Amino acid sequence: MRGLTGLLLVLLLAACGKPPVQVQESFVFGTRVEVLVAEADAAKAKAAAAAVLREFDRLHRTYHAWQPSELTALNAAIAAGKAHAVAPELAGFIADAQAMTTAGERLFDPGIGELVRLWGFHSEEFRAALPDPAALTAWRAAAPSILDLQLEGNTVRSRKRAVALDFGGYLKGVALDRAAAALREAGVHNALINIGGNVMALGSKHGEPWRVGIQHPRQPGALATLQLHDGEVIGTSGDYQRFFELDGKRYCHLLDPRSAEPVTHTQSLTVLIRGGAQAGMRSDASSKPLFIGGRQEWGRLARELGVADVLRVDADGRLQATRGFAGRLKFEPGVPAPEIIE
């Protein structure tokens, strides 16, 4: 079952006398992606946006988690207990993801691909069925992690055959960083990049900040809107895009490696990264451990990850937010004020 498909609501209408925003769209990483460019040179804008979408498609195909790819070849070698030589790009991804996994206390862990498969999320359509309990028990006993991988140059070995990589919670953020670099190199300095609600702003929209919306996890439309400034990124993890329902209960794709079960205590969690190196990747990867950690752990995890701006919607629709982020948000009519978490 599909949930709400878009997190980002962008105000696209150009002001009177100003050139229109150039928009190119595609469907990559299992979600809708958009590249919006606010530049006077329309030909340059279109060419740069098209190049970004081609790079998105390359990343998607190269690191697909269940269709034949460099990632599935590595996973097959791990399952066979063999060392495997990978491209330098993939070796770099593994090293970065290992660092984020450690920082997030293994709540974000791209090494749990087999668990994702057991829950039926290695598919474009999700069947409403629970995994075999014995298979879950065996997975918990094996406790695989990306931290079980050993890198020697570009050669990967694993201490456990149960490790299977799935970069679904990491690659969209990497793609944002790649897109920003490519656009700047092409001379495009005013753009907005949206990958299924992970959004990065470059420059401005004709001199004004880009305004975006955070998707309401249970209703069409926005929960809140905010202005994004140059280099800022928002990343959202939610239970409303990839999920199925069975006997009145929602099972989402965000899995807690400790229990091997889908998270049920949180509807959505959004972080704002205020620029800096790898801002896109950090926005994507840091929202996962905070989402999984829930009310008792997200504040501490945010501090440890260096994330100052967080908005959480719990299972009952109650909002929590850090003070600084709450001050940036304009909540839609009828949305209750969040509890402020210092």
Question: Over the stretch 188-209, which tens digit does the pLDDT of each residue have?
Answer: 999 999 999 899 999 999 999 9
Task: Check pLDDT > 90 for residue 19.
Answer: no
**Average pLDDT estimate for 114-125:** 95
What is the mean predicted confidence (pLDDT) over 146-170?
97
Q: Judge whether residue 27 has pLDDT over 50.
A: yes
Residue 15 has pLDDT above 90, yes or no: no
Share of the chain above pLDDT 90, in %: 92
CATH class assigned to 70-158:
mainly alpha
E strand spans, 187-304: 191-195, 198-202, 210-215, 222-228, 233-238, 243-246, 249-252, 255-256, 261-262, 266-273
User: What is the reported pLDDT for 7?
Assistant: 37
Q: What CATH class does 22-62+171-341 carry?
A: alpha beta
Mean pLDDT taken over the chain? 94
User: Tell me: the pLDDT tens digits for 278-330?
Assistant: 999 999 999 999 999 999 999 999 999 999 999 999 999 999 999 999 999 99
CA atoms in the 13 A half-sphere facing the CB of 148: 21
Report, as an integer, the average pLDDT of 228-239.
Answer: 98
pLDDT in tens, 71-96: 999 999 999 999 999 999 999 999 99
User: How far apart are the C-alpha atoms of 280 and 249, rounded to whole Å?
Assistant: 32
Which of 197, 213, 207, 174 shows the shortest CA–CA distance to 52? 174
Instruction: Report which DSSP code applies to 72.
Output: H
- Supply the pLDDT for residue 17: 52
The domain ranges of the chain are 22-62+171-341, 70-158
pLDDT of 5 > 70? The answer is: no
Mean pLDDT, to the nearest integer, of 235-252?
96
pTM of the model: 0.94
Predicted confidence band of residue 124 (pLDDT cuts 50, 70, 90):
confident
User: 3 falls in which pLDDT band (50, 70, 90)?
Assistant: very low
* Segment 44-59 mean pLDDT: 96
Strands 155-158 and 149-152 come out as: antiparallel
Is the pLDDT at 8 greater than 60, yes or no?
no
CA distances from 269 to 223, 300, 342 (A): 12, 15, 16
Tokens of 303: 């501090």
